[in-house]
Amino acid sequence: MFQIRPFDAPLGAEVIDIDLGKPLAAADYERMINAFHDHSLLVFRDQDITPEQHIAFSKRLGELQVHIQSTYHLPGYPEIYSISNVVDENGKPIGLADAGKVWHTDLSYVTQPSRCSLLHALEVPHDDSGKPLGDTLFASTIRAYEALPDATKRRLVGLKAMHSYMHIFDKITAMKRVGAANLVPLTEEQKKKVPDVMHPVVITHPYTRKKILFVNEGITVSIAGLPQAEGAALLQELVDHAHKPEFVYRHSWRAGDLLMWDNFSTQHLAMHDYALPRRRRMRRTTVQGSTPVYDPLPT
Ligand code: SIN
């Protein structure tokens, strides 16, 4: 029987004594999912799982998404996205080194963004004193919404924002001078698969019914229906607000960690404070969610 230990933080809990390599009984799965919705992020330590087991566990949550950056699919497993600064014996990157360099919500640029992501750490970099590097920060979009002034909450009702893959691509490419960078330009065919999409600025969580501030620095381009300058100022105010320190949990990785986070109720940022020969090697799946909607009824 596994234990759930909530963090002393705005979000997150550790699940203790669980082996994700083994199928979970229906009642255990339900207890885990309830904890996931309560805490937005679950940490499973010491998971020694294969790609097949990672996929099998992820699939219990829904249909898996295949990332548009096909260069970094784990060979033989298109549902697994490799995130790594490591290169093979021919100098070829084995994964995307640039992942998460700006605050974002995974795949908010598609009509049905990721319900959740499951990131498994195989190798974690450390500094000379043994302190882990390459932490990931997660901000609660529920807390962020709740902390908005009432006048701002009223102003946001009915507003929609545009989300774009090319926006985060361009932002990360512009940061190339900072550390490793290996995003691969999309072909015209791939670009057609990720057209810009509109989502409400405030959405209702599909399971908990809580209200969520659903804009992020990396992928949200603009707010529609407002004069350009007013929309740009509002978007900047919201994306800056969304990751204030009081909404943030910072995860220090250990090899074997598997983190599962809710992409509706969190957004995240990866710290790029390491470089080869310090190696970071992770594998990620993303589970398709529903189309974000705003439901005006109170939670
Ligand atoms: C991501 O943005 O999904 C990757 C986060 C990380 O590498 O820590």
pLDDT tens, residue by residue, 104-150:
999 999 999 999 999 999 999 999 999 999 999 999 999 999 999 99
233 lies in some domain? yes
Q: What range does the domain containing 41 cover?
A: 3-288
298 lies in some domain? no
294 lies in some domain? no
Contact criterion met (CB below 8 Å) for 292 and 161: no
257 lines ligand 1 (CB under 6 A): no
295 lies in some domain? no
124 lines ligand 1 (CB under 6 A): no
Name the token pair of 44: 């499973």
297 lies in some domain? no
User: Which stretches of the chain are assigned E, i.e. beta strand?
Assistant: 3-6, 13-16, 41-44, 73-74, 77-84, 114-123, 136-140, 160-163, 197-200, 202-204, 211-213, 220-223, 248-251, 258-262, 266-270, 281-288
14 lies in some domain? yes
CA-100 nearest atom, ligand 1 = 2
What is the pLDDT averaged over residues 76-92?
Answer: 95
Catalytic residue numbers read: 104, 106, 268, 284
What is the pLDDT averaged over residues 150-174?
Answer: 93
Structural domains counted in the chain: 1
> Residue 136: its pLDDT value, please?
98
> Residue 179: its pLDDT value, please?
52
What is the pLDDT averaged over residues 184-198?
Answer: 91
Kindly tell me if the per-residue pLDDT of 155 is higher than 80: yes
pLDDT class of 174 with cuts at 50, 70, 90: confident
129 lies in some domain? yes
284 lines ligand 1 (CB under 6 A): yes
293 lies in some domain? no
Cα separation of 149 and 122, whole Å?
A: 42
**Domain of residue 44, CATH code:** 3.60.130.10
* Cβ-proximal residues to 71 (8 Å cutoff; 6+ apart), any chain: 184
> Among 148-162, 171-185, 258-272, whose mean pLDDT is lowest?
171-185
Cα separation of 257 and 43, whole Å?
A: 7
